[in-house]
Chain A
Amino acid sequence: MPEIGIVGYGAYIPRFRIAVEEIARVWGENAEDIKNGLQVYEKSVPDIDEDTVTIAVEAAKNAIARAGIDPKAIGAVYVGSESHPYVVKPSGTIVAEALMTSEQVMVADFEFACKAGTAAMQCCYGLVKAGVIEYGLAIGADTSQSRPGDALEYTAAAGGGAFIIGKDPLASIEGTVSFTTDTSDFWRREGEDYPSHGARFTGKPAYFRHVTSATKLLLERLSLKPSDFQHVVFHMPNGKFPQAAAKELGFTADQLKAGFVVSHVGNSYSGSSLVGLTAALDAAQPGERVLITSYGSGAGADSFSFVVTDRILERRDKAPGTDYYIKRKHNVDYGTYIKLKRKLKV
């Protein structure tokens, strides 16, 4: 069986940022306490003309450039998000047409809170492995919503990661598992502008139980241990949760470092762990193992083990690294943030 995995990957992060200090200033909160608590210093803000579709397209263009494939060879386009611009009308049709894929392409939008993108990766992996398609494009992208004044406002960010799944990969998929239960920690009802959450309940029974269970299951299935991996990425709703999950599972801060993007871009929901994975792949060397465990409220976690191949050396520089998007930034004040997020009636 030939290796199947990531043939090309790409990230996109909007250029605007708002600092924790600026949000805390408006709401009369202590910025230092929030920064220490969340380990987040600023978050990305989409431009007024950016949404999940535009972010998905830009990330996917980078993935296609790295893969070096004809977009017409892509047999499936799956876009995972919790901020699809239309409730009825797929983001994926616009993304596929903008990327100039063939019209003979499977398209669907995925939704599973912050893990819709990794769910899309699992579907592409299955279709490639079954020989149904040659390449699948899995995208996780979001322009996250947060109620002004809510704790989420400090972290809810925008960004996305895109992955071409196929044969001759730069990182082969060694295995993938999911862990899923009906746990209501974070939700948004139809027609509601902002999500609701269970505050402290989002921790132990939700994020930690699912992330650690999926990761342990993957390690057990593959007979691997934490020290077999050079890089590990967990979903990053803030900086504290992934660090605590890593510690609990026996991973070190060094393993977490390359994909730990949350402190300066915030939590891009469906994009969060996937942007982290692009940053880890930017740093990874052939032969190294990369572990990623996403988390989606509701709740579930998808865990993957990748083995990086020699192909990474020839493909990595064909698109801008994730660090380029992290460093390309322009800070805005709270008033501009409100305008960009369309919270003003014009």
Chain B
Amino acid sequence: MVHNSSVPLYWRLRKSKYNLIGTRCKTCSTAYYPARHLCQKCRRKGEIEEFKFSGQGKILSYTIIRSAPAGFERYTPYAVAIIELAEGATISGQVTGKIEDIKIDQPVIPVFRKIYEDGSGGLIHYGIKWEIADGQRA
């Protein structure tokens, strides 16, 4: 059976998607997610290293998806937000829980969830989603 998602691509990105692992420039401390292998600021003077983000972040902006792309129909309505991580990088991701409570600038914490399933017989893609922080969990 042929499935839509790329098995090697999921495998290559698993560490970064499971644990917010990106890169950081040792020269200027700029952090990148997803990983970049050349610092945009320092160019050749930069030195890139693997970097695990703390997971602390806040909502810069968000939207509620009510008409979902193929593969995400059963999740509607769901929230997709741009998250500013404490270390500076911005990433997009789904916000779980009570989406009616979402506000801009709210702190969020990462949670491990299913992101996408390739039909009923394909791979289950796991990764990070975001939950509104309540101060009880890191």
Q: Do A and B come from one complex?
A: yes
Residues of A within 8 A of B (CB): 15, 47-51, 53-54, 57-58, 61, 65, 85-86, 94, 97-98, 100, 320, 324, 328, 330, 339, 342, 344, 346
**A320 contacts across to B, CB distance below 8 A:** 136-137
Q: Does B111 contact A (CB under 8 A)?
A: yes
**B75 contacts across to A, CB distance below 8 A:** 48-49
Complex A-B, nearest 4 residue pairs according to Cβ-Cβ distance, in ascending order: A346-B74, A57-B112, A49-B113, A49-B114
- Majority-rule SS of B interface residues: mixed
Q: Does B103 contact A (CB under 8 A)?
A: no
**Least Cβ–Cβ distance between B133 and chain A, in angstroms:** 12
**Do A54 and B112 touch across chains, with their CB atoms under 8 A apart?**
yes
**A330 contacts across to B, CB distance below 8 A:** 97-98
Q: Does B15 contact A (CB under 8 A)?
A: yes
**A100 contacts across to B, CB distance below 8 A:** 19
**Least Cβ–Cβ distance between B127 and chain A, in angstroms:** 9
**Do B18 and A98 touch across chains, with their CB atoms under 8 A apart?**
yes
How distant is the Cα of A277 from the Cα of B134 in the complex, in angstroms? 25
**Least Cβ–Cβ distance between B35 and chain A, in angstroms:** 16
Q: Does B115 contact A (CB under 8 A)?
A: yes
**Least Cβ–Cβ distance between B50 and chain A, in angstroms:** 12
**A53 contacts across to B, CB distance below 8 A:** 112, 124, 126
- The count of residues in chain B whose C-beta lies closer than 8 Å to any C-beta of chain A is 23
Q: Does B36 contact A (CB under 8 A)?
A: no
Q: Which residue of B lies closest to A98 (CB)?
A: B18
**Do B112 and A97 touch across chains, with their CB atoms under 8 A apart?**
no
Interface set, chain B 104-138, CB cutoff 8 A to A: 111-115, 124, 126, 129, 134, 136-138
Q: Which residue of A lies closest to B131 (CB)?
A: A15
How distant is the Cα of A65 from the Cα of B55 in the complex, in angstroms? 15
Can you report 5 residue pairs joining A to B where beta carbons are below 8 Å apart?
A15-B97, A48-B74, A49-B129, A54-B112, A328-B136
**Do A54 and B74 touch across chains, with their CB atoms under 8 A apart?**
no
**Least Cβ–Cβ distance between A118 and chain B, in angstroms:** 24
**Do B124 and A86 touch across chains, with their CB atoms under 8 A apart?**
yes
Q: Which residue of B lies closest to A342 (CB)?
A: B74
How distant is the Cα of A344 from the Cα of B73 in the complex, in angstroms? 12
**Least Cβ–Cβ distance between A338 and chain B, in angstroms:** 11
**A85 contacts across to B, CB distance below 8 A:** 124
Interface set, chain B 66-98, CB cutoff 8 A to A: 73-75, 94, 96-98
How distant is the Cα of A114 from the Cα of B101 in the complex, in angstroms? 36
**Do B18 and A97 touch across chains, with their CB atoms under 8 A apart?**
yes
**Least Cβ–Cβ distance between B16 and chain A, in angstroms:** 11
**Do A97 and B14 touch across chains, with their CB atoms under 8 A apart?**
yes
How distant is the Cα of A51 from the Cα of B114 in the complex, in angstroms? 8
**Do A50 and B19 touch across chains, with their CB atoms under 8 A apart?**
no
**Do B126 and A50 touch across chains, with their CB atoms under 8 A apart?**
no
**Least Cβ–Cβ distance between B108 and chain A, in angstroms:** 15
How distant is the Cα of A344 from the Cα of B76 in the complex, in angstroms? 13
**Do B96 and A47 touch across chains, with their CB atoms under 8 A apart?**
yes
**Do B126 and A94 touch across chains, with their CB atoms under 8 A apart?**
yes
**A54 contacts across to B, CB distance below 8 A:** 111-114, 126
**A324 contacts across to B, CB distance below 8 A:** 136-137
**Least Cβ–Cβ distance between B124 and chain A, in angstroms:** 6
**B98 contacts across to A, CB distance below 8 A:** 330
**Least Cβ–Cβ distance between B45 and chain A, in angstroms:** 31
How distant is the Cα of A106 from the Cα of B97 in the complex, in angstroms? 34
**Do A49 and B18 touch across chains, with their CB atoms under 8 A apart?**
no
Q: Which residue of B lies closest to A65 (CB)?
A: B138
How distant is the Cα of A43 from the Cα of B88 in the complex, in angstroms? 40
Q: Which residue of B lies closest to A100 (CB)?
A: B19
**B19 contacts across to A, CB distance below 8 A:** 98, 100
**Least Cβ–Cβ distance between B94 and chain A, in angstroms:** 8
**Do B114 and A50 touch across chains, with their CB atoms under 8 A apart?**
yes
**Do B113 and A97 touch across chains, with their CB atoms under 8 A apart?**
no
How distant is the Cα of A297 from the Cα of B88 in the complex, in angstroms? 51
**Least Cβ–Cβ distance between B103 and chain A, in angstroms:** 17
Q: Which residue of A lies closest to B124 (CB)?
A: A85
How distant is the Cα of A98 from the Cα of B112 in the complex, in angstroms? 8
Q: Which of A47, A61, A344 has the most CB of B within 10 A?
A: A47
How distant is the Cα of A65 from the Cα of B98 in the complex, in angstroms? 26
- 9 other contacts beyond A49-B94, A53-B112, with CB at 8 A cut-off? A47-B97, A47-B113, A48-B74, A49-B129, A53-B124, A57-B112, A85-B124, A328-B134, A330-B98
